[in-house]
């Protein structure tokens, strides 16, 4: 059983209730396909403050999370009904985001649901 935290983006928090993310996590699909069993530890919303994100990662770790996944919409976008990497997503600081989460002592995986074709998240 792998316990997983999710840190989403405020730009999408009023538009998407994480339906795809949670479905994929519960079914070990898409960004979670490499796990045998999964459990959602909790969800935080990034509001652009990277110190805040580091703190969120520490809290998720303290609550038992063993990895943090970043939603696919942070780095990909939907074009003509298809999710693609070109043009990016809601976050333009993905590297800093993942670095700060790693510094908190947790692996950070980019990807949850509806992965763009050919994209394989590194776990």
Residues near ligand SF4, by CB under 6 A: 8, 12, 16, 18-21, 71-73, 112-114
Least distance to ligand SF4, CB of residue 24, Å: 8
Structure tokens at 92: 């333009």
Going by C-beta distance under 8 Å and a sequence separation of 6 or more, which residues neighbour residue 78?
84
Of 3, 12, 5, residue with least CA distance to 74: 12
Least distance to ligand SF4, CB of residue 52, Å: 19
Shorter beta-carbon distance to ligand SF4: residue 3 or 11: 11
Q: Report the alpha-carbon distance of residue 93 to residue 28 in Å, rounded.
A: 27
Shorter beta-carbon distance to ligand SF4: residue 86 or 105: 86
Shorter beta-carbon distance to ligand SF4: residue 65 or 112: 112
Shorter beta-carbon distance to ligand SF4: residue 105 or 110: 110
Of 61, 71, 17, residue with least CA distance to 41: 61
Q: Report the alpha-carbon distance of residue 88 to residue 78 in Å, rounded.
A: 10
Q: Report the alpha-carbon distance of residue 119 to residue 70 in Å, rounded.
A: 14
Least distance to ligand SF4, CB of residue 56, Å: 16
Least distance to ligand SF4, CB of residue 13, Å: 8
């Amino acid at each position: 059983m792998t316990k997983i935290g999710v840190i989403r983006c405020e730009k999408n928090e009023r538009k998407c209730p994480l339906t795809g993310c949670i479905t994929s996590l519960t079914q070990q699909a898409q960004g979670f396909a490499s796990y045998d069993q999964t459990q959602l530890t909790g969800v935080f919303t990034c509001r652009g403050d990277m110190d805040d994100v580091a703190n969120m990662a520490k809290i998720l770790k303290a609550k038992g999370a063993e990895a943090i996944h970043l939603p696919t919409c942070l780095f990909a976008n939907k074009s003509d009904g298809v999710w693609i990497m070109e043009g990016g997503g809601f976050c333009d600081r993905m590297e800093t985001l993942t670095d700060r989460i790693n510094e908190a002592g947790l692996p950070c995986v980019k990807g949850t649901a509806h992965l763009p074709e050919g994209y394989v998240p590194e776990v």
